[in-house]
Amino acid sequence: MSVSRARALLAALLLGLSVSACGYNDIPTQEENAKAKWGDVQNQYQRRADLIPNLVQTVAGYAKQEKDVLVSVTEARAKATSLKVDASTITDPEKFKQFQEAQAQLSGALGRLLAVSENYPDLKSNQNFLALQSQLEGTENRISVARKDYIEAVRAYNTTLKTFPGMLWAMTLFRANKPMEEFTASPGADTAPKVQF
């Protein structure tokens, strides 16, 4: 192998190594990670929306006098699932806020529904209700974890857009990339709920 060919090969190798370490891939990699985490959040919300009709039907059979609570859950679910959400939602503050508000309304309605079970002992003895309640509680926990993972992925992505060397790439080749929205706590979430027996 000639010396000039060896130098050219070494130069190509060094150029490849320097480009791979320059941060060019960080923005698209972190963007795709955040979108995947957003997909996980949506998946958990869909799981919850799928469980609610079963839970409502079970409770309706036992608590006809609590029709208002059941209607509010059904309406909140309909509103939450009627919002069309896609990857553009996480960069549009208004759409993101609407989505978050609908999910908060659904969470509030579900809280009232679960409180019904405290008032009616027959509901607690119904194994179907207990199984669905357990599934719903598990789903709420999964939503919490999925949201936490999404928030972390968005934090990493947004930080890359604002720090060196990512900000150089963001100002040149990735100008269309915008910071993504994070979840915020619903108003009153900092106040512990009052439980009365």
Task: List pLDDT tens digits, range 150-184.
Answer: 999 999 999 999 999 999 889 999 999 999 998 87
Percent of the residues in the chain that have a pLDDT greater than 70, as a whole number: 76
Task: Give the pLDDT of residue 37.
Answer: 94
For residue 16, being part of any structural domain is answered with no
Task: Give the pLDDT of residue 195.
Answer: 45
Indicate whether 197 pLDDT > 60: no
For residue 2, being part of any structural domain is answered with no
Task: Give the pLDDT of residue 118.
Answer: 64
Least Cα distance to 69 among 111, 104, 101, 99 occurs for 111
Residue 125: count other Cβ atoms within 10 Å of its Cβ.
10
For residue 113, give the CATH number of its domain: 1.20.1440.20
* Range(s) of the domain holding residue 55: 25-172
For residue 109, being part of any structural domain is answered with yes
For residue 147, being part of any structural domain is answered with yes
Q: How far is CA 98 from the centre of its chain?
A: 14
- Exposed, middle or buried: residue 195 (CB in 10 Å: 0-12, 13-18, 19+)? exposed
- Residue 136: pLDDT band (50, 70, 90) is confident
For residue 191, being part of any structural domain is answered with no
Tell me what the mean pLDDT of segment 88-109 comes to.
Answer: 85
Indicate whether 75 pLDDT > 90: no
Confidence (pTM): 0.65
Structure tokens at 7: 């130098």
For residue 31, being part of any structural domain is answered with yes
CB 179 within 8 A of CB 161: yes
Type of residue at 8: A
Number of domains in the chain: 1
CA distances from 113 to 48, 55, 72, 135, 138 (A): 14, 9, 9, 14, 16
For residue 188, being part of any structural domain is answered with no
The pLDDT tens digits for 110-130 are 777 777 666 665 555 566 667
For residue 185, being part of any structural domain is answered with no
